[in-house]
A and B are shown apart, each in its own frame.
Chain A
Amino acid sequence: MTGNTTIHRMPSYLEYEGKYKGILGWLLSTDHKRIALLYLYSQTFFFLAGVVMGIFMRLELIAPGQQLMQASTYNALFTVHGLTMIFLFIIPGLAASFGNFFLPILIGAKDVAFPKLNLFSWYLFIGGALIILLGMFTGDGPPDTGWTFYAPYSLRTNTNVVLSVLGAFVLGFSSVLTGLNFIVTIHRMRAPGMSFFKMPLFIWAMYGTSWIQLLATPVVGITLVMVIFDRVMGIGFFDPAKGGDPILYQHLFWIYSHPAVYIMILPAMGAITEIVTTFSNRVVFGYKAIALSSLAIAFVGYLVWGHHMFTSGMSETSRWVFSLLTFLVAIPSAIKVFNWSATMYKGSLDLQPPFWWAMAFMFVFMIGGLTGLVLGSVATDVHVHDTMFVVAHFHYIVFGGAGLAFFAALHYWFPKMWGRMYNKQIANIGLLIVFIGFNTLYFPMFILGIMGMPRRYYDYLPQFATPNYISTIGSWILGVGLIIVLVNLFRAKKASPEFIDNPWNGRTLEWEIQSPPSLENFEEIPVIERGPYDLKK
């Protein structure tokens, strides 16, 4: 099936030895593929840490009354869980790992435009993470503000807010530089013949993402610095006692943080597009619509931040305007879902594990998206605001959406990245368990939210007991599923290499080079003559 005899094999990026050997060969490497793996491993580590915290929270919530921790511990736990998952796992997300690995390859380039800057971004990422970690173990204990750092509480609490905020600021820097690097790479380093409308759709998604990273992050960056100065020097930007306005903080925070949701989800959608196309064995349906919808999402995503503040005190007009704008984002998102379905329709489906992951993604993402409309309309939001409904919704989007896509991408590109294949049957079983666990864990939270259970509480009234109990059991199932999935991949990585340059019959550029790729990806820069998904003659 694979025409590997024709490919002249070079030492792969994994074996290649440059100026430095051993661990330094990784920590000082400017090869985008090695940097991608550095991100991948650190992100996975943070993800697992976050999962452990999540499972502990669910354990506390298994029954009414205090189970294993005090209220203040719970507050710290959901804060650090949120910080870890959002800033250390899902915002760098697919962009930092798979984007770094495949963006240059998919446009036929040997590396990104600024390889050193790329490595520097990873160090900023790790630096930010270490600062946050430091904030957990020093001073007066981990922050308890929630990952949003809402003023004025974040100015008043005695916990270690400054370090967490500083860490988040450094992480923002890393994100900006990655976005900048990708934009320049896409503009300057496409292989000859690859016009914008011949780029694979994952690249379009990365392009939209990079612009959001660039345009939104500085605003929250400076806002976080203002919080630091409010705390350390008592300036009073957001302190009502000194004339500052906490609502202004919310505006500035969400001007970034809503677009950040699209930083998380756009690359995920891009990866899903690649997967759906490959396993449908068809040319993708509506190429331009998918490409432009990425930009549309990026653009409209800027205008909707106010939907987080319907209950914070806002004029009636701004409430319905923000509500309307929020509904508009559903259109480009739906375009993608429709086009994926249309691509599969009459395709000859190849039911491999990455495809099943993509299906799982579509299922939960649609639930997440539709419940997002409930939160986007003022009237219903007022009812479920700050309840478990919100917790369910955003886990469906960020975990069910971006998180599952992360695993889908991992299963899709795994053979390319390591030149090995995992056990497909175990991969499917693992996915099934994850999928069941996920829905058991989060679906009851929708019901709890509608019943009125508030979020961010370590205890609850007895009438909320049953759904909470089910939810906690779901967290165990999910945990088991994740272990199966990861162990399966880990074992595959250790297995002996195979010649699998193109195990899925993919048509984009990465499948035309050897697995794992050589240091420079292409010994000769390819000349692009056909569309990214056209069948080969």
Chain B
Amino acid sequence: MEQNSAIHATHEHYDPIGSKLGMWLFIFTEILLFGALFIVYSVYRYRHPVEFHLAHQELNVFIGFVNTVILLISSATVAMSITAMQKGDKKMTLILLGITLILAFVFLVNKYFEWGAKIHHGIYPGSEFLLSLSQGDILFFGLYFFMTGLHAIHIIVGMVLLGWVYVRVKQNRVNQERYVFLENGGLYWHLVDLIWIFLFPLFYLIH
């Protein structure tokens, strides 16, 4: 019995391909989650084309654009951190991960100012002012807050995840031989980026 537990304790299952497969499947579910929202968006846009068109002009394309660029760069830095890890350059990995985290934070700061301005103007779900507008406006801004809000939550989750990866790299628990955790963190971050790539034109650009 004693002996057995010793044997079992050392037995460890490590399967990087399996882990990556798991992450891809999870990303799939996230895309479906947002997919349902895209359906809702298209249905309501189809019903209220004019109001949606006018409402979107209220959004600040510049901030949206800046945030798009920020996310694209951060996606690149995460990808580069994986390459650095493969080459065994721990210091570079940490630096690149750090940059990614900072960019994510800047994204949130921008979002804060953008939302703040809207709320300042009385535009937020359930506000009296919004409810005095047309149904199309109510739905557009409802979707806007809900979808960008959900995306922001994903940014935060991604930051926590990458922060955890950072610690693991520092402890050498993620290293040149075993870096699937870093890869998975990167995959998740690309997802966050990808979703934004859809949100940006839907809310800010389409005329």
Enumerate chain A residues within 8 angstroms of B138, measured Cβ to Cβ.
Answer: 235-236, 242-243
**B55 → A minimal CB distance (Å):** 12
* Segment of A214-222, A425-433, A434-442 in the binding face: A214-222
Stretch among B25-33, B87-95, B110-118, B159-167 lining the A interface: B25-33
| B29→A214 contact, CB < 8 A | yes
With A229-B146, A233-B125, A243-B47 as known contacts, state yes or no: A111 contacts B40, CB within 8 Å.
Answer: no
| Interface-side segment among B12-20, B59-67, B194-202 | B12-20
- With an 8 A cutoff between CB atoms, is B135 at the interface? yes
Q: Which of B35, B36, B44, B146 has the most CB of A within 10 A?
A: B36
Interface locus among A176-184, A380-388, A405-413: A176-184
Contacts A18-B8, A113-B15, A226-B40 given; indicate if A243 touches B32 (C-beta within 8 A): no
Task: Answer yes or no: B50 CB below 8 A from chain A CBs.
Answer: no
Interface status of B21 (Cβ within 8 A of chain A): yes
A274 smallest CB distance to B (angstroms): 26
B136 on interface, CB distance cutoff 8 Å: yes
Q: How far is the CA of A221 from the CA of B48 in the complex (A)?
A: 26
List the A residue with the shortest CB-CB distance to B33: A218
Contacts A221-B33, A242-B138 known; A180 to B25 CB distance under 8 Å?
A: yes
Given known A114-B22, A180-B26, contact A520–B135 (CB-CB < 8 A): no
Q: Is A530 an interface residue (CB 8 A)?
A: no
Chain A interface bracket (under 10, 10 to 19, 20 to 34, 35 or more): 35 or more
Per the 8 Å Cβ criterion, residues 237-283 of A in contact with B are 237, 242-245, 248, 252
Residues in B neighbouring A217, C-beta threshold 8 A: 29
Flag whether B43 is at the interface (Cβ < 8 A): yes
Please give me the residue from chain A that is nearest to B37 by CB atom: A222
Q: Is A3 an interface residue (CB 8 A)?
A: no
Once the chains bind, are A219 and B35 in contact (CB under 8 Å)?
Answer: yes
Question: Could you tell me if A218 and B4 are in contact, using CB atoms closer than 8 angstroms?
Answer: no
| Interface residue? A10 (CB, 8 A) | yes
Is A237 within 8 A of B126, CB to CB? Answer: no
The 3 tightest CB contacts between A and B, nearest first, are A243-B135, A234-B126, A235-B142
Could you list some 29 contacts between A and B, CB below 8 A? A16-B4, A110-B11, A110-B13, A113-B13, A113-B15, A113-B18, A114-B22, A115-B13, A176-B26, A176-B29, A187-B18, A189-B18, A217-B29, A218-B36, A219-B33, A219-B35, A222-B34, A235-B125, A235-B126, A235-B142, A235-B145, A236-B138, A237-B40, A242-B139, A243-B134, A245-B47, A252-B36, A252-B40, A520-B11
Chain A residues within 8 Å of B, Cβ to Cβ: 10-11, 16-18, 110-111, 113-115, 176, 180-181, 183-184, 187-189, 214-215, 217-219, 221-223, 226, 229, 233-237, 242-245, 248, 252, 519-520
